[in-house]
Structure 1
Amino acid sequence: MRRSGSDEKPCASNRTCWLITLLTASVITNFIFSAVGFLLVRNLHDAVVDLQDQQSVASEMKERMSDVLSVFATTDREKRSVLSSTSSSRLAVDVGSMFIAAIKGMCRPEGGVCISGSKGEAGQPGRDGLPGRDGLPGRDGLPGAATGHVGLRGPPGKPGAKGTGLPGKQGPIGIPGGKGEKGMHGAKGIQGEKGERGGKGERGYAGQKGQKGEKGKVQEVIPSHCNQGNHRVLNDTWRKTSSSIFYLDHHKDREGYGFQPGWHVFAASIGGQMPETCPPRRRCGTGAPGWLNGTHPTAIGQTSNETVCFNWDDCCKWQVTVEITNCGGFYVYNLPNVPCDDCNLAYCGNAE
């Protein structure tokens, strides 16, 4: 009696039934192919073993035939004559018996009787058979039944109802007001009348003339070498232009001869300054007297560069440049060494 529909457990679906059927057929097919493959491999192995045995038997037969041929080759003439006298049938029997005996025990015919030969050497041990091939590993068993199907996802819930409140309506745009009227320009003011030009005033009286201011004095700047102690004083009486001495007493204004270059003042006793005219030679206590070929500075504090000449057979045989400063009442001279090393030259005072 058929059970009620509630007790039956049919396939969940046609797709599941087809999947189980395909898996079962695949397992059976694989088993059949595995069995056939195993039989083929075993038969192939047996065939290889039989072939090796046949090759071994053929090799042994070859060795036996070689021994028979050597026996016939070494048989002496007498044995051959005995063999020739026998009948052909006997010979055939003997040869056949000998061949069989040679194969079995390598015997030699002796008067029609097969005498066993000496015992042969022990044969080499047979070759080991090939190891059997490992059997094929068994196939893994079928996996267990698949896990249960995941339940179907339920349908998504419906979104909640949107609020029913309606947005308020936009109010109407207000009507723009009308443009105001343009205002009127104000009336232009009346221009005032031009005033009359005033008359020219009388000229004023001239003021008294101011008194003339006093003339300003120029401030005098005196250089430092005008100060006492910053220059040397030349007061030798032989420096006068009137001084004439013998040749052996001529002087020389050079270092090493009692003279030091630098700022000098001529003492009032020998004239206070250098002469501005050429004195005769062999005057002023020397062979070639020196004189100022120019003029002294006139402004107080003024310094000028002037030329000093020395007279020998020419009023300006030798010359040097010297600085002269007006110190306000006297002059200061920056005198160098005279220009001739081996000559008697000296600076003169203005006194007669």
Structure 2
Amino acid sequence: FISTSCTGCQCCASGTECITTSGVVQCLDPCATYTVVNDAWRSTENTDQTILHCDRNIVWSGWYRFYLGQTSARMPEKCVAEDRCGADVPLWITEPHPVQLNEIVTRTVCNAWSGSCCYFTSHTIQIKVCSGYYVYKLQQPTACWLAYCTGTVRYFNDRSGGLDHYVWINWEKNPGKDLKMSKRII
């Protein structure tokens, strides 16, 4: 999706971004021009510390969509325990993902280490909600052995009203209590 050519990022319509492809700067939709990141080791369930990863060594440029296998994934919105996601220090976002289609938001990325959910200097990234998934404009972390975490998303599609409704369902185990379910309609 190309809306117009531009020389600066001020000219792009809402929901698009100035992106350089093949040396040409254009207003493009990040939902259609992203790079796939499909690393099983990024899972919040991964506690294997045999090989540690460092996202500071990656030159992050443009927009990215996370997958875990064949399933779309997203960054966690709550603190992830240290020594997960293939790194000593997992990265997570401190605020919820955007909910309005094509909305782009800036979110703070924190890191879990030494008993703190935001031990090292935090940084910001941008997130855009696309139709059924998210794309991220990632930044280089401030130190090594930090890595972006991902978790899978469960979506239920209800076409009864002609519109797609997505529900994010999160199960949490409360010590000494039953499972608690929270949901958010997107």
**Contact 1:240–1:271 (CA under 8 A) maintained in structure 2:** no
Aligned to 1:321: 124
Describe the superposition over 1:41-74 as per-residue Cα deviations: whole angstroms up to 9, x where unpaired: xxxxxxxxxxxxxxxxxxxxxxxxxxxxxxxxxx
Residues 322 and 243 (structure 1 numbering): CA distance in 2 closer, same or farther, change over 3 Å?
same
- Structure with higher Rg: it is 1
In the alignment, structure 1 residue 226 sits paired with structure 2 residue 28: no
In the alignment, structure 1 residue 238 sits paired with structure 2 residue 41: yes
Report SS of the residue matched to 2:64. Answer: strand
Q: Which has the higher helix share?
A: 1
Q: Which has the higher strand share?
A: 2
Aligned positions of 1:122-137 closer than 5 A: none
Shift of 1:222: 4.8
Aligned to 2:51: 249
283-292 or 270-279: which moved more?
A: 270-279
1:292 to 73, 89, 93: 93
Q: Distance in 2 between matches of 1:317 and 1:333?
A: 22
**Contact 2:92–2:148 (CA under 8 A) maintained in structure 1:** yes
Shift of 1:278: 0.9
Residues 330 and 286 (structure 1 numbering): CA distance in 2 closer, same or farther, change over 3 Å?
same
Aligned to 1:309: 110
Q: Distance in 1 between matches of 2:104 and 2:87?
A: 28
Aligned positions of 1:276-291 closer than 5 A: 276-291=77-92
**Contact 1:241–1:351 (CA under 8 A) maintained in structure 2:** no
Shift of 1:329: 1.1
Residues 261 and 282 (structure 1 numbering): CA distance in 2 closer, same or farther, change over 3 Å?
farther
Describe the superposition over 1:118-159 as per-residue Cα deviations: whole angstroms up to 9, x where unpaired: xxxxxxxxxxxxxxxxxxxxxxxxxxxxxxxxxxxxxxxxxx
Aligned to 1:189: none
Residues 236 and 338 (structure 1 numbering): CA distance in 2 closer, same or farther, change over 3 Å?
same
Instruction: Extract structure 1 runs of 4+ deviating beyond 6 A.
Output: none
RMSD between superposed Cα atoms in Å:
2.0
In the alignment, structure 1 residue 260 sits paired with structure 2 residue 63: no
Residues 222 and 305 (structure 1 numbering): CA distance in 2 closer, same or farther, change over 3 Å?
closer
Shift of 1:309: 0.5
Q: Distance in 2 between matches of 1:240 and 1:288?
A: 13
Report SS of the residue matched to 2:41. Answer: helix
Q: Distance in 2 between matches of 1:250 and 1:239?
A: 11
Shift of 1:268: 5.2
Describe the superposition over 1:142-193 as per-residue Cα deviations: whole angstroms up to 9, x where unpaired: xxxxxxxxxxxxxxxxxxxxxxxxxxxxxxxxxxxxxxxxxxxxxxxxxxxx
Residues 345 and 261 (structure 1 numbering): CA distance in 2 closer, same or farther, change over 3 Å?
farther
Paired residue type of 1:254: R
When normalised by structure 1's length, the TM-score is 0.34
Shift of 1:339: 1.0
Q: Distance in 2 between matches of 1:279 and 1:271?
A: 19
**Contact 2:35–2:64 (CA under 8 A) maintained in structure 1:** yes
Shift of 1:262: 2.8
Report SS of the residue matched to 1:225. Answer: coil
Higher relative contact order (CA 8 A, sep 6+): 2
Indicate the percent of aligned positions where both proteins have the same amino acid.
Answer: 34
Q: Distance in 1 between matches of 2:40 and 2:76?
A: 15
Q: Distance in 1 between matches of 2:74 and 2:98?
A: 12
Report SS of the residue matched to 1:260. Answer: coil
Report SS of the residue matched to 1:254. Answer: helix
* Structure 2: runs of 5+ lacking an equivalent: 1-13, 17-28, 154-186
Shift of 1:271: 5.3
Residues 238 and 268 (structure 1 numbering): CA distance in 2 closer, same or farther, change over 3 Å?
closer
